Amino acid sequence: MTQYHEPVLLQACIDGLNLQPGGTYVDITFGGGGHSREILNQLDGGKLFGFDQDVDARANAQALADPRLTFVASNFRNIKRYLRLYKAEKVDGILADLGISSHQIDTPERGFSTRFDADLDMRMNQNADRTARQVVNEYSEPELHRILGMYGEITNARTAAAALVSARSNRPLKTVNDLKAALQRYAPRGKENKYFAQVFQALRIEVNEELQALEEFLEQVPDILKPGGRLVVMSYHSLEDRLVKNFINKGKFQGEVEKDLFGNDIKPLQAVTRKPIEATPDEIARNPRARSAKLRIAEKI
């Protein structure tokens, strides 16, 4: 299972959850189950829910064959609804390890990687309607400009959007190589890999509505956590980390924290660590994916 995905910042995540052996926990990004396995190791009488929208993750949950684990094949934006269904309305801790797994990026036909030619897919949920091919071929030029600029943070987003619209007017862009060919001229010389990685990140975020799902999830957290319960979130790019940081520190995604009549902050969570935890150079050398990880921990007030 380590081939599926090597867990990042494993011990820091487990410490952050402040595990109670008899508690109820949720791993909302089950993936290969690396973090979940360690949570299960520490439980005695407790239980764990594992969410993942990728059907490939289910097999990893089944392989664990642990009656304390309930796997939920759903987007984590539905967390509250499912926990209610399973009569676990309040939990002691929630772990999120955002983004895609190594398995997803290393499976050529999923279309997540710039390294392999494949259909432009990029869906984490193989049953979802929207694919990267639709985004690239059907979105308007201003929408593509917005996505590439905001989610990919590429500096020539307007030019790139125009190039895609021009290329697709000849014939639809169906594959990873079609997309790369359409943008090749606009990728900074010597930095093509980074440029395409940013373009792919932008499309992936749009295809999977990653920021919307994260916001919807975070808004449900205060209702789900017991007082003193822990939220542990690992993000891999600044757009996600900003949402997590603002929600923990201000109780909302934008603007300043609201105050009550006595001047006290109105916010449901309290940061446990002021700064995000990052991987050590040793871990990054072993697992390059850990390079951009930022781990934030909060407690329900």
Ligand X SMILES: C[S@@+](CC[C@H](N)C(=O)[O-])C[C@H]1O[C@@H](n2cnc3c(N)ncnc32)[C@H](O)[C@@H]1O
Least distance to ligand X, CB of residue 167, Å: 30
For residue 124, with 0-12 CB atoms within 10 Å meaning exposed, 13-18 middle and 19 or more buried, which class applies? buried
Q: Does 33 bind ligand X (CB under 6 A)?
A: yes
Please pick, from the candidates 39, 144, 213, 233, the single residue that binds ligand X as defined by CB under 6 A: 213
- Site residues (CB under 6 A) for ligand X, limited to 138-167: none
Measured in degrees and rounded to the nearest 5, phi and psi for residue 72 equal: -120, 115
Q: Does 5 bind ligand X (CB under 6 A)?
A: yes
CB atoms within 10 A of CB 168: 17
Site string for ligand X, 113-132 (x = CB under 6 A): -----------x--------
CB nearer ligand X, residue 26 or residue 173: 26
Site string for ligand X, 50-69 (x = CB under 6 A): -xxxx--x------------
* Stretch touching ligand X by CB under 6 A, among 94-102, 146-154, 253-261, 274-282: 94-102
Known binding residue 49? Answer is: no
Known binding residue 217? Answer is: no
Based on DSSP, count helices (H) and strands (E) in the chain, helices before strands.
13, 9
Q: Does 75 bind ligand X (CB under 6 A)?
A: yes
What DSSP letter does each residue of 126-164 carry, written as one string? Answer: TT-S--HHHHHHHS-HHHHHHHHHHTT--TTHHHHHHHH
Known binding residue 35? Answer is: yes
Q: Does 16 bind ligand X (CB under 6 A)?
A: no
Is residue 299 within 8 Å of 268, Cβ to Cβ? no
Residue 90 per-residue DSSP state: S
Least distance to ligand X, CB of residue 67, Å: 20
Q: Mapping DSSP to helix (H, G, I), strand (E, B) and coil, where does residue 28 land?
A: coil
Please pick, from the candidates 48, 91, 94, 100, the single residue that binds ligand X as defined by CB under 6 A: 100
Known binding residue 104? Answer is: yes
Helix H or strand E encompassing 38: helix 34-42
What DSSP letter does each residue of 49-75 carry, written as one string? Answer: EEE-S-HHHHHHHHHH--TTEEEE-S-
* Stretch touching ligand X by CB under 6 A, among 14-22, 33-41, 199-207, 293-301: 33-41
* Stretch touching ligand X by CB under 6 A, among 39-47, 75-83, 132-140, 278-286: 75-83
Q: Mapping DSSP to helix (H, G, I), strand (E, B) and coil, where does residue 27 land?
A: strand
CA 93 to CA 211: how far, in whole Å? Answer: 21
* Stretch touching ligand X by CB under 6 A, among 74-82, 138-146, 194-202, 290-298: 74-82
Q: Which two tokens stand for residue 45?
A: 């009488």
Q: Does 99 bind ligand X (CB under 6 A)?
A: yes
Residue 227 per-residue DSSP state: E
Known binding residue 34? Answer is: yes
Residues in contact with ligand X by CB under 6 A are: 5, 7, 29, 31-35, 51-54, 57, 75-77, 97, 99-101, 124, 213
Sequence ranges of the binding site for S-adenosyl-L-methionine? 33-35, 52, 76, 97, 104
